[in-house]
Each structure stands twice: as structure tokens, then as C-alpha cells.
A and B are shown apart, each in its own frame.
Chain A
Amino acid sequence: LFEALSGRLSGVFDGLAKRGALSEADVMEAMREVRLAMLDADVALPVVKDFVNKVKERAVGAEVLESISPGQAVAKIVNDALIDALGGAGAVPLNLNATPPVPVLMVGLQGSGKTTTSGKIALRLSTRERKKVLLASLDTQRPAAQLQLAQLAEQAHVASLPIVAGQTPVEIAQRAMDVGRREGYDVVILDTAGRLSIDEALMEEVRQVRAVTQPAETLLVVDAMTGQDAVNTAKAFNDAVGVTGVVMTRMDGDARGGAALSMKAITGAPIKLTGSGEKLDALEEFHPERVAGRILGLGDIAGLVEKA
């Protein structure tokens, strides 16, 4: 399906190229295919509409240099706009500019990869940046969640907060920060239970955690396979706790990851990291320019542009 689609899409671009002139109708036709490609990649509909409108505006009447064909000009505009919408070229690092211990809060839907990503970030900070990291699980909901994080901490050779039964998430968060201060940790990673975007009680709980810890980063962990609901997730978490960065997990799958675009559009927060496996070293910086082609199912857009 994807091949067929990208074939059709580059077919449209080639068609434009052959005609040699860029009319509004040409652009409209190309944009219909771009819209479909984006929907098939799970970019949320309102985000698709917005994107397509902006690109249309840019493309119709855009200056077509003599050296390149109009088709290539459209392809370049689409590609550039997509990279732009994903946050521009290059990766945005974690912000740890605060007085240690620096709290990092992990939030997201059930099963999105928060606990695993907490372990991954701990490993990265402790090995690459020589930070002293404390992992703390605030998950009193899921069976064996605190044990899961403790085991990951062991694998990463970092410390984890001792498990005390019966404490509330807010109490655990406070204890984690106390231990962090007393024992001279640089970073305290606070892993939370998964929660639904419509669960008001649990949203309030994470709001309280945020209030007592004042995290330097509040990372929303999102599955790359997420569909149209990405909009609701992004909005709910951003409204409740103010997302400062997004982590896209399961990029090692074959989902085209359109949710990345929705996340960025709704929260405005940069996508900072991507998960590319279950092991603790499978964490990478997010590169908008690489994900753009994946979303369109069009490795060859870049090729088309390069020819130009």
C-alpha cells in the first residue's frame, strides 16, 4: 500500500514536472495525495488540514527557478514544510539547566513506554554525561511497576528509590527529591503510572506531583503507532502538566509515525528523543529531517529535491 501510495505521489510530482508550469490546479492535485499519505501515516486530521492549507499557500505562485522543474519545487516545499512542522533540522537536547537534583517527570498513556524510557534516559545520562541519577517510580497502580523500574535501574547501574509500600505518588515524589538533595544526585527521574487523557482524577494527581517537584523537563512518552487520538493525548497532558518535550517510542516498528507531527503541532514542545527497541541503549535523538520522509512514505522526496 505504501509503495503504491508513494508511487502515486511521486507520479503526481513527475506529472507536474513534465508540464513545466505550476498552476493552482496542479498544486491542488498534489495536495490531495499529500493529504492521503499523511492520513495513512496517522497524522491527525486537523493537523493535516492545517498543514495542507499552509503548503498550498506557499506553493501556488511560488517562484519556480528556471533550473528546476515545478514538480520538484512543490516536492521541496512539502518536504521543507514538514521538517519545519516537526521542529526544524537538528535535534533538541534535554534541558537539565536547574539546581541539582534536577527533576525529570515522565507522563503518558498506559503502556506507552514511560518506565523503559526512564531507564534508558538514566543510562544515557549516567554513561554519556557522568551524571549521578536516581530513578523513582510513582506508579502505585500497575502490578509490579515499582519493581520493574528497580530492575531496570540495576541493569543501567544507577540507583533507584527504595520501595515503601502504601505511599501516595505525591509522597514518593517528595521522598525522591529529599533523597536526591541529601545524597547529592544530579538528576531525579520520576516515572508515573499510565493514565488516560480523560481521567480527571489521575490528571489532578500528576498536576500535584508537578507542583511539589517543579520538574525541569516534563516528557510526554508516546507510542509511534498512535492513531488520531494523538490529538487528545497531546492536548490533555499539555493542559494538565505543560509538556516540555516528547519522546516517541517504538520507532523500531514499521509505523510511519505521523503522531509525531500531531504531538508537535498540539503541544508546541519539541520531540527530543526516540525509542528504537526494548533494550536500555535503544534511545536516540530525534531528527526531524529523517522522520519527514517516513511520514510521507516517500524516501524519494528527498531524492527529488536533491536532483533539483
Chain B
Amino acid sequence: SRSTQKLGGGLTSVFTKRKLDDEALEELEDLLITADLGPAVAERIIDSFRRTRFGTEVTDEEIRTALADEIASVLEPVAIPFEPDPAHKPHVVLVVGVNGVGKTTTIGKMARSFSDQGKKVMMVAGDTFRAAAVEQLQVWGERTGCQVIAGAPNADAAGLAFEGLKRAKAQDADLLFVDTAGRLHNKSALMEELAKIIRVMRKFDETAPHSVLLVLDATTGQNAMEQVRVFRELVNVTGLVVTKLDGSARGGIVVALADSFGLPVHAVGVGEQVEDLRPFSAQDFARGLVGSAEAEAETAS
């Protein structure tokens, strides 16, 4: 019964007008929740939607567009591409995040994209802990033609970052990506190790790192809020990259993050290959989010 009135129920509903009443709004709120915006942010967005459009007769297509616009307006201010500062040679980018989110892969993709733009890019294999992490980055070095600086297994990551920075400077590199081991934000010893990497690099260049990118997995739910809060506090994150948006997860938590922290979202990962990195577009992201949420609600019903 209800399901026949569900949003996005095929082409016919695009033309059928329905009243945006409490029930319809509740459905929309559910759609946002299933996209990981979190119950609080979903409620807030629907509330402002309610104030402007309650009781109007709208088609599903109109609702979809309006809701996407509402969300895009939250995301617009954080859609800021990553741009290395040519004043720094090299511009040092420290890449951090919890385990398995896609840090190493993202470095490989970014290395390719900037070396394609004619920049000299180098990478530091700062994950000296995880099995075959160094070899993984070395494969990315081969794929991109960018030099990888690696140390002995279990070498001190901070010392290696220092060494890498020195060598990148000597070779006049434009960009230096420092890969780090995945770490959960609630582990203070591991977080302190990151702070140490920064301290030690500053002994060589007191302005480094020039960017600290936090990589987030789009499948992550509400815990991403804590990740951003803690990483930002301890290592002064300057921007975010959201990975794995090629899957069924829509990364709605990004809306909550934009709302709470306002950190730039530089890029999104849409696959495992070197070319699978895109600039973050508020419009596209919002549209994908609303579209997919519908599909999810359909399958869930």
C-alpha cells in the first residue's frame, strides 16, 4: 500500500503530484538516514524542507531536485579542490586515516594526477608497520613513474619522513606525499606517533607538512564524526578525501561532517585504479546521495 506511493517508483511517479505532508516528509527523512546522514542531521534538513514546502503539491522529481539542492548548499562551501602551493618545494602532504580506508591507493592516484600536470612527485613509504605496505606503495611508484622513498621494515616512520623530505628537497621535487600506517583515532600512542612525524619533519622545514589529508571510507557510518574530530585536534587536518564512492554506500556522513567541521573535501575515490579519483562536486554528490537513498529504501521495503 505505502510502497506504491514510494518515491522514485518508476517513471510514472515523476509526473504524479502528491502532497508533501508529514508522512511524505518522514519518508524523506528515512531516505536520508539510510544514506548515513545520521538521525540528527536528517531531521534538521527535513525540518527546513518542511518550513518552505510543507503542503505543496509536488512530483517526485521536484522533491528529489529540491532535496538535492538543499544538501548541495551544505556541501558547496567545502567543495574545494586540492592545490599544492608552488611556493613550497616540495609541498609536503601527510596522508592519515584509520585502517584500510584507502590512504595508499589515494596517494598513488594523486601522484599520477599531479605528475600528469608536469609536477615532480615523490612518495615516502611511511607505513613501516603493516605487512607489505612498502611493497604496495612501490607498485604505485612503478605505475605512476614517481620515486618512492622506503626504509627498512619497522623503521622509525618519523625518521623516514625526515629523510624523505631531505631527499625530495635535494631533488627539487614539487610534491611529497607521506604515506602513514592506518591507525584508529582512539589509540593515543599511535596518534602521538603521527604528531612525532610532524615534529621531526619540522626540524628540516618548519612549515611542513603543508597539507594533512584525512582519508575517509564512504561506507563508514557515524564514527566518521569522531575520526574527524580527533584527527583534526591532534594533527591539524587540512582537508578530506572520501573513498569507495563507486560502491553502494553514498557517504552521507560527509554532509554531517561539512555541517559540523567545515573542512574542505578535496576529492573522491571511485575505484581501485590509478585514474579513479575525481574532484568533489557538491551537486553530483548531493544528487547521488538522494538517488541512491531512494534505491535503498526500495530494496529495504
A residues in contact (CB < 8 Å) with B: 36, 39-42, 44-46, 109-113, 115, 119, 141-145, 147-152, 155, 196-198, 223, 225-229, 231-233, 235-236, 250, 252-256, 258-259, 278
Contact = CB atoms under 8 A, between A and B. Distances in A.
B29 to A, nearest CB: 10
Given A110-B244, A253-B184, A278-B99, A258 B139 contact: no
B217 interface: yes
Contact of B222 (A40, A44, A109, A233): A40
A256 B224 CA distance: 12
Contact of A152 (B38, B102, B131, B223): B131
Interface string B135-161: 110111000000000000000000000
B219 interface: yes
B300 to A, nearest CB: 4
A109 B247 contact: yes
A226 B132 CA distance: 25
B272 interface: yes
Contacts of B35: 228
Contacts of B131: 115, 119, 147-149, 151-152, 155
B219 A45 contact: no
A144 B135 CA distance: 6
Contact of B221 (A112, A151, A255): A255
B38 A39 contact: yes
B33 interface: yes
Given A141-B272, A227-B249, A229-B248, A278 B220 contact: no
A141 B105 CA distance: 12
B296 A232 contact: yes
Nearest to B141: A143
B296 A228 contact: yes
16 contacts: A40-B38, A45-B33, A45-B34, A148-B133, A155-B131, A223-B219, A227-B222, A228-B221, A229-B250, A232-B248, A232-B299, A250-B98, A250-B184, A252-B184, A254-B185, A278-B182
Contacts of A198: 247-248
Contacts of A36: 39
A253 B98 contact: yes
Contacts of B217: 111, 223, 225
B135 A147 contact: yes
Given A144-B138, A145-B132, A231-B300, 20 more contacts: A39-B39, A40-B222, A42-B36, A111-B217, A142-B136, A143-B135, A143-B139, A144-B139, A152-B131, A198-B247, A223-B217, A225-B224, A227-B253, A228-B33, A228-B249, A229-B248, A233-B219, A252-B184, A253-B186, A255-B226
A150 B185 CA distance: 28
Contacts of B39: 36, 39-40
A93 B250 CA distance: 34
Contacts, number: 148
A228 B100 contact: no
Interface residues of B, number: 48
A39 B35 CA distance: 12
A147 B130 CA distance: 11
A46 B34 CA distance: 9
B33 to A, nearest CB: 5
B185, B226, B250 pick with most chain A CB within 10 angstroms: B226
B36 A228 contact: yes
Interface string B1-33: 000000000000000000000000000001001
List 9 A-B pairs, minimum CB-CB distance, nearest first.
A227-B221, A111-B100, A42-B221, A143-B139, A229-B249, A148-B132, A255-B223, A151-B131, A144-B135
B219 A147 contact: no
A196 B221 CA distance: 17
B222 A231 contact: no
Nearest to B184: A253
A144 B133 CA distance: 8
Nearest to A236: B248
A151 to B, nearest CB: 4
A227 B219 contact: yes
Contacts of A44: 34, 300
Given A45-B33, A110-B272, A228-B36, A253 B139 contact: no
B54 interface: no
B36, B252, B272 pick with most chain A CB within 10 angstroms: B272
Contacts of B132: 144-145, 147-148, 150-151
A5 B33 CA distance: 18
